[in-house]
Structure 1
Amino acid sequence: MSARTVRTRLLAASTVALAALALTACDNGKGVRDEGPSAASQSSAQPGGSTTAKPAADSGASTGGSAATPTKGSTKGSANGSSGKTGGGKATGGGTGTSGTGGTRNAACNGANTRTTATEVSRPLNHLLLTVTNTGSKNCDLTGYPIARFGEAQSVPPVAEQTHPQAVVTLAPGESGYAGVLLSAGDGSGGNGYTAKTLVVGFAKGATSTPALPAKGVYVDDKLTVTYWQQSLDDALSY
């Protein structure tokens, strides 16, 4: 083999080697050849170029759902807390008594637990004394004034406001309370007079009473007036 032939072959080999080196140098600038998308990337691609992204917030959503859903214990606690119940329970408004009394109150005196009598008196003139006696076994309160209906009258007499007692009249068993009745004007100035032979006495609460009047009846006119119930007989006849 001639020297020329050897040089030609060496030159060709050198050219091939340089070409290989040039191809190796054509990379991404980092010494790695870009061979296109990886197989893993291709396998995750969906038809049409879209990709299926697995929700990254799976664990976070589950955690959020758990936080929004109360546990059995917390549900019971919140239900008790929102029920409005307090340590006091029921509001009694002052025990068993009525509002504003600050405690218990006696039953009302009326026709069911008392006896009522009507007595014509000589002094003062033209007066009738009503006496209410507690026939029960407990104290009772005699409040207000007698709602007195004489005969067939369509109305009841007014009360003399100046006779209002300073305290409620309370009757122990066997005790009595009183009210005075001005039947007619002493000077004859009253009008529309008539003789009444029956009387019905009403109370602030409860049953009425029907005390007997004198057999001849009592004369009444438009001056007819009653007092409030009083603790003493003298107070009842002072009007």
Structure 2
Amino acid sequence: MRTAPRSLHRAAASSVVVAALALVGVQAAAQTASAATKEASSIVTCTTANTRLTVAEAARPLNHLLLKATNTGATPCYAYSAPYLRAGADAQAVMPWADDSTPQSVVTLEPGQSAYAGILTYSPDGEGGATEKTLGVFLTDRKGDATGREKTLNLPNGGVFFNSAATVTYWQDNAADALAW
């Protein structure tokens, strides 16, 4: 008769231990989620105010420029989507984004780190065109809207030829991926 109550006590004790471990696990998960939310909320959007922008001619492939955005702030920032670019001061529209270049996730820039966007300046398939001396750059927010003010960059070699085939990639975490399109 004593074996039945002992096994019941052991089963009850085991249930208490399992319940206690489950409670600890739930609390740990909540703390981890809270820490992740707090960390994510401290990351800001990359803007022209907290990011240094440069543009350079790419050695390869031909007809490409490389746009580099470096986080100059004290906290991490998100480089959302792709930049809005205007080739020349009189540009009426921004360059289209190369949809095939969409990265797996948003590029996060720690202070001092950079993101890259490749710019195809022209193609024989494009129409018209002109040599432009400046590139207007707007960064984007989570919704894909332009943030802050436009930053105007001088193009290399005193000017670069653009035609209707000009496109820009989404932000990438390395230059090689940005120039792959």
Question: TM tier, shorter chain?
Answer: 0.7 to 0.9
Q: Secondary structure at the match of 2:158?
A: coil
Deviation per CA, 1:19-67: give whole Å up to 9, x if none.
Answer: xxxxxxxxxxxxxxxxxxxxxxxxxxxxxxxxxxxxxxxxxxxxxxxxx
RMSD: 2.2
C-alpha contact (below 8 Å) 1:116/1:210 kept by paired residues: no
Give TM-score, length-normalised by structure 1. Answer: 0.55
Q: Which has the higher strand share?
A: 2
Larger radius of gyration: 1
8 A Cα contact 1:110 1:208, kept in partner: no
Q: Distance in 2 between matches of 1:132 and 1:139?
A: 13
Unmatched 5+ stretches in structure 2:
1-32, 141-146
Distance 2:176 2:157 in 1: 25
Shift of 1:192: 1.2
Q: TM-score, normalised by structure 2?
A: 0.72
- What's the counterpart of residue 203 of structure 1? 139
Partner of 1:140: 77
2:49 maps to what in 1? 112
Q: What is the CA-CA distance between 1:190 and the residue it aligns to? A: 1.8
- Is 1:166 equivalent to 2:104 in the alignment? yes
C-alpha deviations, 1:184-207, integer Å up to 9, x for none? 00xx33211101101110011233
Higher relative contact order (CA 8 A, sep 6+): 2
Is contact 2:54-2:69 (8 Å) kept? Answer: yes
- Residues 182, 226 of structure 1: 8 Å contact kept: yes
Q: Distance in 2 between matches of 1:219 and 1:213?
A: 10
Q: CA deviation at 1:215?
A: 4.0
Partner amino acid for 1:232?
N
% identical equivalent positions: 46
Partner residue, 1:228: 170
Distance 1:182 1:150 in 2: 11
Q: Say whether the 8 Å CA contact 1:108–1:206 is kept in structure 2.
A: no
Shift of the alpha carbon at 1:146?
Answer: 1.0
Give, in whole Å, the separation in 2 of the partners of 1:141 and 1:192.
35
User: Could you report, residue by residue, the CA deviation over 1:44-94 in whole angstroms, capped at 9, with x for unpaired residues?
Assistant: xxxxxxxxxxxxxxxxxxxxxxxxxxxxxxxxxxxxxxxxxxxxxxxxxx9
